Amino acid sequence: MFAPYCPTCSTRVLLGPRRIVSADMSSQPFTVTLRCFCGTAIPADNPVPDPMPDVGPEPFVEPRVA
């Protein structure tokens, strides 16, 4: 079983060996390409991307009057 990140689905997907499209055992490390359920071809070791930092403006908080 493989659990690569699919950029089209924006999530990790659990894929079995029947989803293997190609395997290159001649390279080190070897590469395996899988087909996601959505149809996207993805490497078996495709990592989850880092979340984008929030770059929006800081929220305005009105000061309290005592």
Let me know if residue 31 belongs to a domain. Answer: yes
- The pLDDT confidence band at residue 54, using thresholds 50, 70 and 90, is low
Asked whether residue 38 is assigned to any structural domain, the reply reads: yes
Q: At 26, is the secondary structure helix, strand, or coil?
A: coil
37 pLDDT above the threshold of 90: yes
55 domain residue, yes or no: no
Is 10 inside any structural domain?
Answer: yes
Half-sphere exposure of residue 54: CA atoms within 13 angstroms, side-chain side: 4
Domain assignment present for residue 60? The answer is no
Inside any domain, residue 56: no
Distance of CA 11 to the CA centre of its chain: 6
Rounded CA-CA distance 3/46 in Å is 9
Count of the separate structural domains present in the chain? 1
Instruction: Say if residue 41's pLDDT is above 70.
Output: yes
Domain assignment of residue 25, given as a range = 5-43
Asked if residue 48 belongs to a domain, the reply is no
* Spatial distance between the Cα atoms of 13 and 30, rounded to a whole number of angstroms: 21
Q: Percent of the chain at pLDDT above 90?
A: 56
Q: Which two tokens stand for residue 17?
A: 């060996």
pLDDT-based confidence at 56, cuts 50/70/90?
low
